[in-house]
Amino acid sequence: MKFLKYITLCAAALTLGSCADDFLDKEPSEYASEDQIKEVIERDPSAIQAYITGYYKNLFSPEAQQSHDDFGLKAFELATDLMGDDMAYLTQHFFVYDYMLDNRGSNYRRPTTCWQELYAVISGANEVITNLIGLAEDGDETVETMLGQSYTIRAYCYFWLINLYQQPYQWNQGKPGIPIYTETETRLERVPVKEVYDQILSDIDKGYNYLKGKGISSKAELNEYAAAAIYANILSFVNDYPDQWNKVAEYAQIAIQGGTLMNEDELLSGFNDINLSEVLWGADINSETNTFYASFMSNMDPFGPGYGGALGNYKMIASDLYDKIADNDIRKKWFGIDVDESNSHYNVRQYIQCKFVDVGSLGTGDTFCSDYIYLRTGEMYFVAAEALYRAGKTAEAKTMLETIMQTRVPGYTCSKSGDALLEEIEIQKRIEMWGEGRRLFDMKRRNEDLDRTHATNHSATTPKSVPAGDKLFIYQIPDKELNANSAITEQND
């Protein structure tokens, strides 16, 4: 009897440890698995939108973020602006090595994050294209919008990459470029520049055409006007494109239709809101999605608590460019602030930027919750003007210039012609786009030397003159790529 009792007891103990069928099958809950996502998409194909939202997010809040000087595309824009001649910087803090043209080594953060983050966005775009390509023929608007955004963003990322890691197209078509990943092929080697541009052009053309006629549903998403703007900027590099400058002008003018020119209030509102009337595409950021100190405004806003403000690392306009701003130009108010006297190491306050001011400083939002602006129509007037001029349509170019400039300088007219007109267009664009990441690429495609000798407020220790095409204008391929990719055999000097 007793024996039986113990055996029962034992059996009970045994059952404690016996296993249900799913004992070893565990589903992740911290992340979503590929299969889980597939299931969602099968049930509702529009759920693929999450990949698109995902790559947009990756563009301002990167998964691969390493440091407070990295916040995706806006960080790359700021870094390239600091590599040019229009931005001056005096302190030894984040972005100083960009300003010194010494943030390019293969083991440095900047070349690594630019590479990794832009390719991560490309990877996200490829996932969308792979998933939707089969449905492209159906003419479904949602599908086309998704595909259009994905091709466009892929084009834009490759465009940034090829210009960060190789010299400009016009003189370097045969040089080794960058790896190419698409929905159909993976080319791990450094694909020649020419072929990279073939891919970029093919993508932006598909992207623009899918988006064409669909309007703007949200400025946080790429749309037909934003795609046209990207198209125009890309074509500006492609000197052998048939009828290049007429095409650039055409797309720039399409982009212009995506917004209306800003008035004085808007121009002086801090460039922190995606709803500004010129904005074509940006990121809508709030207290849940912001990246705090690792953000654009942290590094720019002179009034805020961030690196560019309370921590004293002010971003300044180069004095020579500042001197070229007419006194009655509204944009002159983008520069010059009262700096607390106790910040004794600062004595150049008239050049400190206040174009970019955080919503937190203005009391219109939480600290560092400013939106990011990637593309706006203001730029496109100058792109169109330059293109029209180069296409020989001087009068139209002048009209284009005057149209925007009259909103910047009351009563503006331009009487210049010839090279002087082109120079005026270029100078006004530099003023207009200061801090928005256009200067370095413009220098590159025009084969301009870096010349910082005319400004009085550049740091004593930074390079003053660097000839166009110098290795300092491109990054080395990151070690993290080279260490794992044996198909790349050539490194930049």
| Interface with other proteins in residues 44-83 (CB under 8 A) | 47, 49-51, 53-58, 63-64, 67
When the beta carbons of 17 and 411 are compared against other proteins, the nearer one is 17
d(CA 439, CA 335): 18
- Site for other proteins contains 107 (CB under 8 A): yes
Q: How far is the CB of 151 from other proteins (least distance, A)?
A: 17
- Taking the complex as a whole, the smallest distance from the CB of residue 184 to other proteins amounts, in Å, to 15
Binding to other proteins in span 440-479, by CB under 8 A: 460-461, 478-479
Residues 109-138 that bind other proteins (CB under 8 A): 112, 115-116, 119-120, 122-124, 127
DSSP string, 258-306: T-----HHHHTS-S--TTSTTEEEEE---TTT--TTSSHHHHH-TTSSS
Radius of gyration for the alpha carbons in the chain, expressed in angstroms and rounded: 26
* CA angle (289, 272, 67) in 5-degree steps: 50
Closest by CA to 180, choosing from 167, 197, 166, is 197
Min separation Cβ 4 and other proteins, Å: 12
Cβ nearer to other proteins, comparing 415 with 483: 483
Task: Considering the complex, state which of residue 112 and residue 149 has its C-beta at the smaller distance from other proteins.
Answer: 112
Q: How far is the CB of 17 from other proteins (least distance, A)?
A: 3
Give me the residue label for tokens 């407070």: 68
Alpha carbon dihedral 145, 150, 156, 159, in 10-degree steps, equals -140
Decide: is 152 part of the binding site for other proteins (CB under 8 A).
Answer: no
Contact set for other proteins, span 353-412 (CB under 8 A): 360, 366-367
Tokens for 248? 């650039």
Nearer to other proteins, 184 or 342 (CB): 342
Alpha-carbon distance values, 425 to 280, 399, 431, 450 (Å): 21, 11, 10, 19
Among 1, 14, 43, 265, binds other proteins (CB under 8 A): 14
Smaller CB separation from other proteins, 245 or 296: 296
In the complex, least distance from residue 307 CB atom to other proteins, rounded to whole angstroms: 9
Q: Of 471, 466, 492, which is closest to residue 84 (Cα–Cα)?
A: 466
Applying CB under 8 A, does 28 fall inside the site for other proteins?
yes
Q: How far is CA 206 from CA 51, 142, 293, 462, in A?
A: 19, 15, 37, 42
Compute the Cα dihedral for 386, 388, 390, 392 and give only its sign.
Answer: negative
Could you say whether residue 157 binds other proteins (CB under 8 A)? no
310 counts as binding other proteins under rule CB under 8 A: yes
